[in-house]
Every structure is written in C-alpha cells, then in structure tokens.
Amino acid sequence: MQSRGSMVLDTRTLLSPHDAVYPVMLHCDCRTERCIRSDGAPEIFSVDMPNRALRHLFENNRKWVAQTTKTDPTFFRRLAALQKPKYLWIGCADSRMPPNELLGLMPGEVFVHRNVSNLVDNTDMNCLSVVQYAIEVLKVEHVIVCGHYGCGGIHAAMQNQRMGLIDHWLRSVKDVYRLHEAELNAIKDVKERANRLAELNVREQTRNVCHTEFVQRAWHRNQPLAVHGWIFDIADGIVKDLGMTYTRETQLQPLYRLEDK
C-alpha cells in the first residue's frame, strides 16, 4: 500500500464472517487510516491492522527501554554515539542461538552476520562485506565462527532430497562432507554424524575466514586479530571451543597465503 496520497487501492485477503478466506478491494484514505470494502460492507479495520498481531512486540520493546534506562540512564546515549565491538560473530540463522544472549553481551558489543549453517563462501558478497567492515573499520579483535548441533541445514545437506534454492547454498556443506566422507560414513548414528559434520563445517568456514585478503592484510600490518571456531549445543546452552584459533598467516597452508608482489 502506498504511504502518501489521499486515496490508494489495495488488495488484501480477509476472513469472511464464516471464516472463508477471499480477496477484497479496499479504498484506503492514508490521511485518516480508514478502509472501506469495495463490496459495500461496513469498514472492518484500519490500515494498521497487520501490526495488531505484533503489538506485544512493541510493548516488549517499550518495557525493555524503560527497564534499561532505569538501570542505566545514559545507555542509549552512549549506544547512539559509538559502535566499537571487539567481536565479529558469524553464526547460523537458527532462532535458537542469538549471539548477545549466548555470550552475555550487551547491544553494541558484538557485530553479527548470520546465515543458514554459518557459511563463509568466497562468492558471498554480503558475508565478505561484513568481514571487511568489521576488520578494517570497526577494528574487531576476534572473529568467531560458531555452528551448532542439531542444525537443520547440516541435516539437509546430508540428504539427497531436492529442496530448491537452498540446495545451491548447501553445496558448501556437502563439499565439507566429501572432504571427510570416510570419517563421517563410519559414524552409524545419524545424529552423531550430523553433529560431527557441524564441527567439521565450522572448521572449514573458520579457515575460509582466514583465507580472505582482509584477514591476511590485517595480519600483515600487525593488527591484533584472532579467528576462532566454536560450536553451540542447543540442548544445554553451552558453547564449546573447537580448539582452532588462527592469529597469523603462517598457520595457513602455503597455497592460501596471500602476499604482495
């Protein structure tokens, strides 16, 4: 629906008195936020009806603001003035692993990029832009790649079912499986195999972070920067260090080391 002008035309799907779903044309006056049905029936809702189902979220936000400012009256003033996190978190988009809560950090303390199965693909301009900005502008000191057990993307990559666009995205996880096929196929329990693949995927994506020119240039100019691989267990809420931390390019395989001519 347009946000300006006195009259606009909108098509919405409404519930009839008998709970039947059908489309109806609405003449909406954006100045008064009043909608009239084209079939002549009385006005039944205002323009902001879709937000009514989300009203509790706005209420939660106001409560959070009130509680935060009560505890720390200058919190939002400081938050608006500067963004200087020490950490970049690259994690899965799964709704059960919000980084601030997991790490016990406040807003402004962690820069975040999330996608399905926490991938760092060398063709993903979104992810690479985040990495570059975090390192070169925000000067983060730690990049954390964190996967999790019970990851739906990991389980999907272990199957052969056609699912659409995400099949292309999960190719990277399948490639990780191929690299460790003998080890993974030896694990008979499917859940355990998926958990091991989640760990191996984190290891591979952590290396992918280190292979970027942004990370290696930072190391070349002696900028403090460490790249870590972690895994999160949704069942108990514990984050585990997978024991791989990179702090210099000499830890990489020679093929991936970038040097100026």
The residues assigned a catalytic role are 92, 94, 96, 148, 151
Nearest to 50 by CA among 10, 7, 88: 10
Angle (nearest 5°) at CA 233 between 167 and 106: 100
Per-residue b/e over 114-142, b at no fewer than 16 CB within 10 Å?
Answer: bbbbbbbeeebeebbebbeebbeeeebeb
Alpha-carbon distance of 114 to 46, in angstroms, equals 35
Contacts of 179 (CB under 8 A, 6+ apart): 200, 204
Cβ atoms of residues 226 and 141 within 8 Å: yes
| Radius of gyration of the chain from its Cα atoms, rounded to whole angstroms | 24
Using alpha carbons, list the distances in angstroms from residue 171 to 14, 91, 146, 159. Answer: 40, 18, 19, 11
Residues present in the chain in total? 261
